[in-house]
Amino acid sequence: MTFKKIINVVGRNNLVNAACEDIMNAYSLSQTFKNKIITTASNPTTIHHLKPFLNWYSNRENILPLVILNGFPSTSYSNLMELNEYIMKESNYTFNTTNVIACDDELYDEISDSILKTKPYYNEIYPVNGTLKYRMDILQNIINEK
């Protein structure tokens, strides 16, 4: 079975959009993922729109896309937990999920100390306006996250 990946990006709307654009650009540099990524946007009342993608792709091998990049702005941690449970259930566990917080660079240290240690659903924090090298390192972590 081929596992596919869904990346949920949370945070303020403008930061989520910027982070999704950066993640999409990083993936597009790889021939493996070229034209195999879709972007979506959802909120707690519209997560059901992911169902066709999750059901469709969970029943087929090697079908496009390999990655779904889902912007999920201005949401709570409990909504993110519900989204992850929904994805697992609807996809029959064929998606690996990575949850990314998009933030301002100034908040990175504060957020990383408090959130990553206490909120296990979050995998990465992405400082949208951090230095290019620093953002590239985090993008590599996001792309390589299993």
Distance CA 22, CA 106 (A): 18
Average pLDDT over residues 60-81: 80
Average pLDDT over residues 83-109: 88
pLDDT at 3: 61
Domain range for 129 is 4-144
CATH number at residue 74: 3.40.50
In this prediction, what percent of the chain has a pLDDT beyond 70?
Answer: 90
CA dihedral 131, 120, 15, 38 (to 10 degrees): 100
- What does the pLDDT look like over 15-35, one tens digit per residue? 999 999 999 999 888 887 877
- Work out the angle between the directed axes of helices 77-90 and 51-58 (0-180°, nearest 10): 40
**Model confidence at 112: pLDDT above 50:** yes
When divided into structural domains, the chain yields a total of 1
Distance CA 15, CA 71 (A): 10
Distance CA 72, CA 80 (A): 8
